[in-house]
Structure 1
Amino acid sequence: MAAVGECSSSVPLKSVSFSHVEYPAGDFTGHLLAIASLGPVFILVGFVTLIVFKRELHTISFLGGLLVNEGVNWLLKNIIQEPRPCAELHPSVYSKYAMPSSHSQFMWFFSVYSFLFLYFRMHQTNNARFLDLLWRHVLSLCLLTVAFLVSYSRIYLLYHTWSQVLYGGVAGSIMAVVWFVFTQEILTPLFPRIAAWPLSEFFLIRDTSLIPNILWFEYTVTRAEARNRQRKLGTKLQ
């Protein structure tokens, strides 16, 4: 818990224009961290967009894990019922309980699950080179950095204590490992059957779990189809 003096602010609090995340007015660092704390919102919007355009079962499962993780966070908060350190500074916060931090739990779930996906689910190809591994290391480092920044922003902006953020990170990491194993061992073998359902075929839902590098696969297939159509069009014009 924060000390009594720590909750006082000499400057008025200002919220980010498109959210209710508040930071001390004129505090540039606080402004940047307030934007960083919106990471879960950006990620959810990205997931919805990706699902609408890709309609891939593993992406849907990933989003399902994030939602289950949020449900577990809500349950833990209502069981522990530890209040926020400076609730009077942020009266607009809808939840009065703060243990564990939902932002921290969300971001560490996303980061740890993505880390496991990069190194255990995304299979290496026979022509893997140094750069193929380098981008995975760089991306993993970026994921961990973003998770840390979002977690730290909740402490800096006095929404959570260190312990609330720490336990949120631990809970999110454990949930990520559990959901990854559940997806790998239980859901993935069922994906081909689910993709064959009439409803899945109607909504163009697909299973790409057996394709080692989906980006390279889509690139090569699209390029080959474009060249094939170009040749057919050239033949018709002759």
Structure 2
Amino acid sequence: MEDKVLSVSDVLHGNGDIEWQPLALTLVEYPKGDILGKFFALISLAPFGIGAGFVALILFRRDLHTIAFFFGTLVNELLNIILKHIICEARPIARGHLYNEYGMPSSHAQFVWFFSIYVLYFVLIRLHHINNNSIISALWRVVIVGGCITLALLVSIGRVYLHYHTTAQVIVGGIVGFLFATLWFALVHRVFTPVFPQLVSMKLFEMLMIRDTTLIPNVLWFEYTTSRQEARARGRKLAALKPTQ
């Protein structure tokens, strides 16, 4: 009688008939030996990196606009799920249970274009500098916006290249992301932002140290100069406390 070889998981669970399913969110397939396909597979993980960045920013900066931006990405994903189940268009290649069977519109394309277009509006409207003639200021704007648009294009091309979506599914996803980013930024800028000062004055928001930086023209420069001034002031106090030789 042939002995049955049990794996570690069988021993731990006491069952050799367990069906294991991969986590579809982070599993990306590409043709073996295809360097370009591997590159696009890595690029397709960008939304998860962006999501992790949102969590880090919210935890350490606690700015209301960042929270509103992140909430918009969640609503954008919910919209994508709803559209997928309304349209019910299949993907170009079936890959079992690796992901949702519907592909219209592309969730990756919708996410990255929502993110990129929102950043574009934020840089042009909110992230302005006191010295608008600064070459460094203009260069940073080009780098930020150009990097986001380039990332959106690469992710979109990769989804078609890896046969996760058709060209039409990616284009529609990009259009939906563009339109929703426009709508969400308008809501945040015109509707939500005016009530931010009232929100941050509430006791709960004070306990969580949530802040509103809307009225600060250049948040990065403000935090940089404030930290330098505080460090210098503390340095002078420490120097004054040292006993004279």
TM value normalised by structure 1: 0.89
Which residue identity does 1:229 align to in structure 2?
A: R
Shift of 1:127: 5.7
Matched, 1:63 2:70: yes
Shift of 1:94: 2.7
Whole-angstrom distance in 1 between the partners of 2:32 and 2:44: 16
Select 2:187's aligned residue among 172, 182, 198. Answer: 182
Percent identical across equivalent pairs?
Answer: 49
Which residue identity does 1:230 align to in structure 2?
A: G
Whole-angstrom distance in 2 between the partners of 1:131 and 1:230: 30
Correspondence list, 1:1-238, <5 A: 19-87=26-94, 90-126=95-131, 128-238=133-243
Larger Rg: 2
Which residue identity does 1:121 align to in structure 2?
A: R
Asked if the contact 1:20–1:92 (Cα under 8 Å) also holds between the matched residues in 2, the reply is no
Which residue identity does 1:51 align to in structure 2?
A: I
Number of residues paired by the alignment?
220
Deviations 1:66-90 (A, max 9, x none): 0010111111111100011101xx2
| Aligned partner of residue 30 in structure 2, secondary structure | strand
Stretches of structure 2 that go unaligned for 5 or more consecutive residues are: 1-21
Deviations 1:115-151 (A, max 9, x none): 0000011123146412211221222111111001001
TM value normalised by structure 2: 0.87
Deviations 1:86-107 (A, max 9, x none): 01xx224331111000000000
Residue 15 of structure 2 corresponds to none
Whole-angstrom distance in 2 between the partners of 1:128 and 1:195: 33
RMSD: 1.4
Whole-angstrom distance in 1 between the partners of 2:155 and 2:242: 57
